[in-house]
Amino acid sequence: MEKQPRLLSSQLLLKNRVFEVTLNRALLTWKEIQTKKKRVYGSIHSTFKVAGSYCVPVPEIVAVREAEADSRTKDEGRWQKLSQKPTEGYPCAFTVSYVERGRQHRWRCSDVTFHCSDWTLCQQWVQSIREQLLLLTSRPKHLLVYINPYGGKQQGKLIYEEKVAPLFSRASISTDVIVTEYANHARDHLKMEADLKKYDGVVCVGGDGMFSEIVHGLVSRTQADCGVDQNCAEEKLVPCGIRIGIIPAGSTDCICYATVGTNDPATSALHVIVGDHQPLDVCSVHHNNTFLRYSVSLLGYGFYGDVLADSERKRWMGPARYNFSGVKTFLTHHHYEGTVSFLPATDILGNPRDKTKCRAGCYICQHNGKLLSEEAQLHKMEEPVSCSETEGDWRVIRGKFLAINAATMSCACPRSPKGLSACGPHHRPHLAPGSTSCVTSCATPARPHPHPQVLLQLSILLKINFLRHLLRHTNKDDQFDLAFVEGGGARGGKRLFRQICRDHPACGCTPVNSSWNCDGEILPHATIEVGVHRQLIRLFARGIEDQPLFEDFCTPSVI
Ligand SMILES: CCCCCCCCCCCCC/C=C/[C@@H](O)[C@H](COP(=O)(O)O)NC(=O)CCCCCCCCCCCCCCC
Ligand SMILES: Nc1ncnc2c1ncn2[C@@H]1O[C@H](COP(=O)(O)OP(=O)(O)O)[C@@H](O)[C@H]1O
Ligand SMILES: [Ca+2]
């Protein structure tokens, strides 16, 4: 990093020890100065030695404030050593709150209090840090908060009041809070009433369904303001100008987990405070040229549709309803006949087994997902032909499916920390490359194909394999090396599935239709068209950071 000019540097006390504290535009650093007795030519000299050294990036400082009346009397001896005397009767200490990184991508707000020799110096420090914070223009100052009191374990209000509101107030963020009173309250308020010009962002306290309400409200509002017709499947949608923060308080919370790395309310609040940007792709779902819904996480027919339909009847169980309905659905083993048509994504990175990881500041997400490396060229040539037919550029798969899943993001969540998309080495695709990942688990093939990765198995074997496939969600293994699972990318901006046919007679043991699970909301239509809209929304998130090697709470970084 380019060396930044020093703005301020002083010797200050921290826990009764002397530190050299320095502020520049990028970093706040503090280095301990230990006094050590050293014998030189027979006389005792006091020499300084630099020991522990810590730093916090300025953008990760949450706030600075003057500390309350402090333990100055205790420090008297130390100040005398530094030949300084603290001013009587004034606060001579200031506290810096900053982001501290913990295990598994968790962030915490920590405090460090520095004691100054006089009031003027203390004021100078507080002022200088505040000035640096004011330069961070991407930080939100005024937020509109929607709380779903009904989702997850019905703790949304409590989570916000106890874990989030105190952090927002520490960061001097003002809020207007709406606790929703019915389903689609937040969506309709955003679409028709909210004065969005007043806010720097919208915060959603709830699960993926609540986030979906916010997305629908904002996207619909933006299209209405710009005269774009959502019913026209071919329309290019206009990106939303306002960012969304997600405080996880739902049952799966995969959009939060996949963009931050954990489902922890305080971590999410800190991501909002520091004002990061994470663009996300959004799928639009149409039926007969009528707009149905948007999807950001999972659009799943068959297994996940059936799990959802069953689990909604067991809401009283809370998040555990999915496990119960998951096992039940697995054991009932329904499969559905249908046709999937899609345009393979050959012009982007993020193929199955792509070696690049999508991490904070991802190169692929920032560079329009264009084919940029030789490695990607190679993927293009190796793209499997699979069991599908082709119709021009389109690939068509007909068969009996246990599940058809289109994941616009990794769908990583505590149940499946690596997510379920086929893209990326650990199945964590890019967050905004402009494609969706289509994973089909077929029961019987319409036509077997010799390619080893897409050869489909008979359904009795499939049942065993499907369990193995599910089990692999829970660990690091490759979910897509099983013979009956097909994974592939589908191109964005075009129709992904042309139709899932209802009219093929199914074999006697199978109900005719499942329903679509669209980000956890039931879509009753079977035939749908899906298109991907690149980077349509932006979150207050950084993407998943590379994990530090050390285990314990560790920031401020030790230099
Ligand atoms: C044997 C253990 C297998 C564990 C398999 C775990 C698979 C988890 C995949 C998770 C995909 C998540 C996609 C997320 C979608 C969400 O947008 C959406 C809404 O979120 P919200 O509740 O916050 O509003 N969530 C969902 O649709 C929930 C899907 C959850 C499915 C759980 C399935 C459990 C399956 C258990 C099968 C066990 C078979 C055992 C046989 C003896
Ligand atoms: N006040 C409310 N009362 C009832 N339902 C609500 C309310 N606010 C939002 N909802 C709806 O609650 C459903 C579940 O919310 P969600 O955040 O997805 O929680 P969960 O993760 O538990 O499913 C969503 O369909 C959402 O539209
Ligand atoms: Ca839900």
Active-site option among 200, 208, 264, 276: 208
Integer Cα distance of 365 and 367 in angstroms: 6
Find out whether the beta carbon of 316 lies less than 6 Å from any atom of ligand 2: no
pLDDT confidence of residue 489? 58
In single-letter form, the type of residue at position 145 comes to V
Q: Binning pLDDT at 50, 70 and 90, where does residue 364 land?
A: low
| pTM of the complete model | 0.84
* pLDDT of 73 strictly over 80: no
Q: What DSSP string describes 7-28?
A: EEEEEEEETTEEEEEEEESSEE
The continuous run of DSSP H or E covering 452 comes out as: none
Q: Which ligand is nearest to the CA of 151?
A: 2
Ligand 1 geometric centre to CA of 139 (Å): 34
Nearest CA among 281, 249, 252 for reference residue 268: 249
Shortest CA distance to 257 belongs to which of 122, 140, 431? Answer: 431
100-125 confidence digits (pLDDT tens): 999 999 999 999 999 998 999 999 99
**How large is the average pLDDT for residues 304-317?**
96
Is 151 near ligand 2, meaning CB less than 6 Å away? yes
Classify the phi-psi angles of 399: left when phi > 0, otherwise alpha if psi is within -120 to 50, otherwise beta: left
Helix (H) / strand (E) element for 329: namely helix 321-332
213 lines ligand 1 (CB under 6 A): no
Whether 210 is in the pocket of ligand 2, judged by its Cβ within 6 Å, is yes
How many angstroms does the Cα of residue 472 sit away from the middle of ligand 1?
12
Q: How far is the CA of 519 from the centre of ligand 1 (A)?
A: 11
Question: Mean pLDDT throughout 538-553?
Answer: 73
Ligand with an atom nearest the CA of residue 413: 1
Residue 322 Cβ inside 6 Å of ligand 2? The answer reads no
Please determine, for residue 41, whether its predicted confidence score (pLDDT) is greater than 90: no
65 class by beta-carbon count within 10 Å (0-12 exposed, 13-18 middle, 19+ buried): middle
**Strand, coil or helix: what is 88?**
coil
- Among 153, 155, 208, residue to substitute to test ligand 1 (most atoms within 8 Å of Cβ): 208
Q: Rounded to an integer, what distance in angstroms lies between the CA atom of residue 553 and that of residue 108?
A: 9
Closest residue to atom 40 of ligand 1, CA basis:
327
- Percentage of the chain exceeding pLDDT 90: 51
pLDDT in tens, 369-406: 554 334 334 333 333 334 456 767 788 888 888 888 88
Residue having the nearest C-alpha atom to atom 18 of ligand 2: 209
Residue for token digits 């097909």? Answer: 486
Please give the pLDDT value at position 553. 39
Mean local confidence (pLDDT), 75-102: 70
Alpha helices in 89-244, H assignment, sequence order: 119-134, 156-159, 165-170, 185-188, 208-226
Q: Is the pLDDT of residue 301 over 80?
A: yes
Catalytic status, residue 310:
no
Report strand pairing: 174-179 vs 142-147. Answer: parallel
**Mean pLDDT, to the nearest integer, of 253-262?**
96
Cβ–ligand 1 distance for 415 under 6 Å, the answer: yes
Average pLDDT (152-162) is 98
Q: Is the pLDDT of residue 427 over 90?
A: no
What pLDDT does 2 receive?
58
Q: Confirm or reject: Cβ of 402 under 6 Å from ligand 1.
A: no
Q: Whose CA is nearest to atom 31 of ligand 1?
A: 322
Tens digit of pLDDT for each residue in 485-507?
A: 555 555 554 455 544 434 444 44
